[in-house]
Amino acid sequence: MKQKRIFQLIVMTVICSLLLIPVTSSAKEKTDFTGDWTLNESKSDLGEGRMFSTSKMTVKQEGNTIIIERTRSGRDGQERTMSETLTTDGKENTSKSENRSSTSTAEWSDDGTTLTIKSNMEFNRQGETFQIKRSEIWTLREEGKILKIQSESSSSRGERSVTLVYDKQ
């Protein structure tokens, strides 16, 4: 009787293990945005112009951390690079610089294919403070060669919607 009970327990364990295999093997890895990216203006929809668009980005992704270095040209034509480190678990990340502070969150879609970054930035320029709220949805296309970022922002200057398309270098 005892052997029969042990046999049933073993059979049930094997069956449960076999049922769990498809669930764990179908769990998809998160999209990896790592790389050097250059803005493709002809494929992008820059809305009212290129003013706040990042011309180049370097992205390093490891585990649930993503480091984004964004390079853009300033009003004076000089290139400026800003770096931010985010965790992709939905927790708030804060950063401060001389004239800017920001709070951001980064969170994966349920299927791990898109990353949504939401930021609240506060700028201090010539004694005046203004805020920008931004939401970005990142997706990879064409086998990881194209990065598409749908960006929505709002500030005292109004709403802005752009689609940025980057080519992997």
Q: Give the model confidence (pLDDT) of 76-105 as tens digits.
A: 878 889 899 999 999 999 988 778 899 999
Q: Which strands make up the sheet holding 79-87, listed edge to edge? A: 79-87, 65-73, 56-62, 35-39, 158-168, 146-155, 128-141, 114-125, 100-108, 93-96
Domain 35-168 fold is Lipocalin (2.40.128)
Positions of the chain with pLDDT under 50: 16, 18-27
Confidence (pTM): 0.78
**What is the structure's pLDDT at 80?**
87
Q: Is 54 helix (H, G, I), strand (E, B) or coil?
A: coil
**On the CB side of 117, how many CA atoms lie within 13 Å of its CA?**
22
Average pLDDT, the chain: 85
Domain boundaries, the chain: 35-168
